[in-house]
Amino acid sequence: MTDALTRLLEVAPASGDPHQKDWDGVERSLGVRLPADYKELIRVYGGGNWDDYLYVLEPGCPNESYDLITWAAQQAEDLEGLWEFEKKPAELAVDGARVVPWATTDNGECLYWLVRPGFGADEWTVMVNEARGDRWEHFAVSCTQFLASVLAGELRSALLSSRFPLATHEFRRIGAA
């Protein structure tokens, strides 16, 4: 278990049974290997809502609105269209670089992994895109490090709500719609 996941468990204990996934099938559908810390996060918590704001996407989520595979396909298509009108973030200027979503918010911000050639999945870092805008932020941490650090108040995003995180943290598993 990663240090970041251990910190998350201290903030909001997980409940229920472990969430098993066919990761080989998920990764075939996405066309990429996924970070081990994300797989562990999903195994322990499943997809869910943190502090009534941030939704961690899950492959095969009971609520299809938060399904990782669906989001990845939609975002890839939406971003390709967007790049025709807006400049790509500098982190995506390298040939073969792309982003894959792993979380979203109530306001519509999207959190992505930055996928770059020559970097393994466990080296992916986090990109945040503002809702309905062209501003991006890059954080040189994994998704679980990002989540644990934001909840602990050690890391701050100018694009996420100023009301996030809450003083008392809560995690709610995403159920069927």
pLDDT tens-digit series, residues 134-174: 899 999 999 999 999 999 999 999 999 999 999 999 999 98
The reported pLDDT for the residue numbered 40 is 95
Inter-CA distances, 40 with 9, 14, 109, 168, Å: 12, 12, 24, 23
| Residue 115: Cβ within 10 Å count | 19
pLDDT band at 175 (very low <50, low <70, confident <90, very high): confident
Cis, bond preceding 13 (omega within 30 deg of 0) = no
Q: What is the pTM of this model?
A: 0.94
Q: Tell me the average pLDDT across 96-119.
A: 96
Among the CATH numbers 1.10.3470, 3.40.1580, 1.20.1070, 3.30.910, which is that of 3-173? 3.40.1580
The reported pLDDT for the residue numbered 26 is 96
Q: Answer whether residue 176 shows pLDDT above 70.
A: no
What are the residue boundaries of the structural domains of the chain, listed by start?
A: 3-173
pLDDT band at 177 (very low <50, low <70, confident <90, very high): low
